[in-house]
Amino acid sequence: MGETAGIKEEKRCALVTGGSRGIGRAIAVALAKAGHPVMINYSGNLDAAEEAAMLCATEDLELPVFIEQTDVSDEAGAAKLIQSAEEKLGHLDILVNNAGITRDGLILNMKTEDFQAVLDTNLKGTFFCCREAAKLMMKRRFGRIINMASIVGLHGNAGQSNYSASKAAIIGLTKSLAKELASRKITVNAIAPGYIDTDMTRAMSDKAIENTIKAIPLRRAGQPEEVGALAAFLASEDAAYITGQVIGVDGGMGA
């Protein structure tokens, strides 16, 4: 295993925001499998967070796993979360910004507060966490930041103008930060999932699911673990020369 700034790769510590369910949980588990102590951030569902933590802990009974409730859209709360991760984990080396919400609706019916809420959590939450984590990573001259974008941030989607705008902005943020932080050996990349089998997508109507699957060249939904595997790779030493990239996990939808 490689070492950077005195930190062994297998002991690099990770924070996953929105890590209690779905894609976030799969990422947390994948990082734990790779030997990383993990902090799982959640917004409201304690039971789900504890379950995610147990899944991480089963990979190694001695692996530290923590949970922390925070609304990342709150600037002070996000700063406190990053500081807590630094203190409880010992050092914060990997940040995965996965926390996000949806408030879907066509533009003519979309309320201003619904547009703003999505930007506050998805975009501002990512920005707040990146800014605070970068301060710590720059001092150690190492870091991995992985931001969750979406295929709709690249191609748009009817009824999701707010969500699409937030994810497109995250892509711009990712590319800018990659340029700013590269000299300190901090990589910044984005993952753009397509249709992934989660609680959120299972709430779609059968017809909507059928139509979505037809639009995917691989003709199936992706699994959260497939996104988690990519996140674990981007956090590894094997990905040290990859930065400023947006990598799709979409079964070919964005091809």
- Domain ranges in the chain are 7-248
CA distances from 14 to 104, 126, 143, 161 (A): 31, 15, 10, 31
Confidence check: pLDDT of 204 > 50: yes
Is residue 157 within 8 Å of residue 106, measured between CB atoms?
no
- Of the listed ranges 45-49, 54-58, 154-158, 193-197, the least confidently predicted one is 54-58
5 pLDDT tier (thresholds 50, 70, 90): very low
145 pLDDT tier (thresholds 50, 70, 90): very high
Confidence check: pLDDT of 119 > 80: yes
CA distances from 100 to 31, 149, 172, 184, 249 (A): 20, 10, 17, 28, 17
| pLDDT for position 60 | 56
Q: Enumerate the active-site residues.
A: 163
Is residue 99 within 8 Å of residue 127, measured between CB atoms?
no
Chain-centroid distance of CA 123 in Å reads: 12
Average pLDDT over residues 85-112: 96
Please state, rounded to an integer, the average pLDDT across all residues of the chain: 93
Confidence check: pLDDT of 122 > 70: yes
Is residue 128 within 8 Å of residue 70, measured between CB atoms?
no
Beta strands in the chain (DSSP E): 3-4, 7-8, 14-16, 38-42, 65-69, 94-97, 143-148, 186-193, 246-249
**pLDDT higher for 203 or 30?**
30
| pLDDT for position 59 | 56
CATH of 7-248, one of 3.40.50.1370, 3.40.50.720, 3.40.50.300, 1.10.10.10: 3.40.50.720
| Structure tokens, 168 | 């497109």
Which pTM does this prediction carry?
0.93
Is residue 89 within 8 Å of residue 82, measured between CB atoms?
no
The 3-state secondary structure of 42-109 reads ECCCHHHHHHHHHHHHCCCCCCCEEEEECCCCCHHHHHHHHHHHHHHHCCCCEEEECCCCCCCECCCC
